[in-house]
Amino acid sequence: MKAVRYLILLWHIGRQMGWRYVLFRAGYWLQAKTGLLTLRFPKGATPKSFISIQEWRNQTPAFLFDPDKLSVQRNAGITDLKWRVEQIRTGMFRYFSGEWFEVPDWHTNPITGFAYPKSQHWSKVNDLSPKAGDIKYLWEKSRFTFLYDLIRYDFHFSEDQSATVLGLIADWIDHNPVNCGPNWKCSQEIALRVLNWTFALHYYRLSPTLNQSLLDRILCSIYDQMRHVESNIRFSEIAVRNNHVLTEALGLFTTGLQFPCFPESEQWRTHGKRLFEQEICSQITPEGTYLQFSMNYHRVVIQLMAWGRT
Q: What is the pLDDT of residues 23-63, one digit of tens each?
A: 898 899 999 999 999 999 999 999 999 999 999 999 878 78
What does pLDDT average to in each consecutive run of 10 residues of the chain (310 residues)?
67 70 89 95 95 92 81 89 96 92 94 95 93 95 97 96 98 98 98 98 96 98 98 95 96 97 97 97 91 90 90
pTM value is 0.94
Q: Rounded to an integer, what distance in angstroms lies between the CA atom of residue 273 and that of residue 220?
A: 23
Nearest to 211 by CA among 89, 53, 96, 102: 53
Give the bridge partners for 102, in sequence order: 92
Run of H or E including 99: strand 99-102
At residue 20, the pLDDT reads: 85
Q: Rounded to an integer, what distance in angstroms lies between the CA atom of residue 31 and that of residue 293?
A: 32
Is 129 strand, coil or helix? coil
Residue positions counted in the chain: 310
Q: What is the pLDDT of residues 146-196, one digit of tens each?
A: 999 999 999 999 999 999 999 999 999 999 999 999 999 999 999 999 999
At residue 271, the pLDDT reads: 98
Contact by Cβ (8 Å): 265, 210: no
Is 121 strand, coil or helix? strand
Strand runs labelled E in 116-271: none
Run of H or E including 44: none
Is the dihedral angle over the CA atoms 186, 146, 299, 260 positive or is it negative? negative
Q: Which residues contact 285 (CB under 8 A, 6 or more apart)?
A: 291
Q: For each of the domains in the chain, give its residue range(s) and CATH number, in order of start.
A: 18-309 (1.50.10.100)
